[in-house]
Structure 1
């Protein structure tokens, strides 16, 4: 992953009302719970930050209570995501596939304002021990150095990428792969003239 841990703001298209997204609303509670678990946050912490009761938040996570858009905005802020994370038309697949399969046309997409970096989530969900991303780095884009818990690996499937791991620098081309502990400060950039694409695997999930 090349941008989220660095704290770059995501572009967001905010819906005016949850009522306009009935299909997605059925999954909101599960999405909130998955993100909360990944962040290591308790129901009590989220409830205190948002200003609601833990009982109400628990009902939301189990899709048993209506969720006003104002409350969802506050929850998203505490979880460190934009509302666009929850409202992406078509990302929810058939019930029998949701835990196992991500169709090419149903990937959850994330972009990072002003960085030239975008990502698509290839993992079916964020409940497992790892996440898989397709990262696209525009020509000249640079992630800057950052570090976080866990480990990561990847495979360059298009273009060229400069990768720094600590004080070591490498140039990777299509077909090259890598792996390193995420606690080591790392950085990646695209020195080429066409977009670079990398399949990135991170454990534990970081979104």
Structure 2
């Protein structure tokens, strides 16, 4: 886990310098303070999911650029070798099912959201380009899409354009587990 987070800071600094941007410029473009961005680059802080997206957008790249990768033409991800992670303050755990290729088009992962919790610590929504597809395996997953929400039960699926602000939460009393595909790749 530590290796994953240390790569975020290192890659942020590398990408920023490759683009000839100052710390202050990237902070302004991504909506954070230069002090916090410096902490990220020096592995003293981990950015939120929203900030990671904003950094990727400001740097003209995808979120996958922040994570270590092994480039192979085909790769099997064994169940006991999945990269798992969560973001600080989040009640969601992710298990990445897809491997990384240059310019990956999709990410597939299993997400687990604990009962009576939101996927993010606030009511913050995220909008981005691409497509998302989810299939609920266990529990109840509530997906907010704009001002509308959908309660998804085991066997239910949802496919949507994420250009509208969206977020997830678990209104049930058991852990919600879902299979999720995201295009473009975010991890």
The TM-score bracket by the shorter chain reads 0.5 to 0.7
- 2-side partners of 1:158 and 1:102: how far apart? 22
Match of 1:196 among 173, 176, 182: 176
TM-score with structure 2 length normalisation?
0.62
SS in 2 for 1:152: strand
Indicate if the aligned counterparts of 2:126 and 2:167 stay in contact, CA closer than 8 A.
yes
Give aligned pairs, total: 146
Aligned equivalent of 1:159: 139
Task: Pick the structure with greater CA Rg.
Answer: 1
Aligned equivalent of 2:111: 135
SS in 1 for 2:80: helix
Larger RCO (CA within 8 A; separation ≥ 6): 1
Runs of 4+ in 1 over 6 A off after TM superposition: 76-81
Indicate if the aligned counterparts of 1:126 and 1:205 stay in contact, CA closer than 8 A.
no
Report the alpha carbon displacement of residue 13 of structure 1 after superposing the two structures with TM: 3.5
- 2-side partners of 1:72 and 1:106: how far apart? 28
Q: CA distance change for structure 1 residues 49 and 136 in 2, over 3 Å: closer, same or farther?
A: farther
- 1-side partners of 2:73 and 2:42: how far apart? 23
Aligned equivalent of 2:127: 147
Report the alpha carbon displacement of residue 119 of structure 1 after superposing the two structures with TM: 0.6
Match of 2:83 among 105, 108, 123: 108
Indicate if the aligned counterparts of 1:99 and 1:125 stay in contact, CA closer than 8 A.
no
User: Could you list the runs of 5+ residues in structure 2 that have no partner in the other structure?
Assistant: 24-40, 57-62
Residue 93 (structure 2) pairs with residue 118 (structure 1): yes
- 1-side partners of 2:128 and 2:98: how far apart? 20
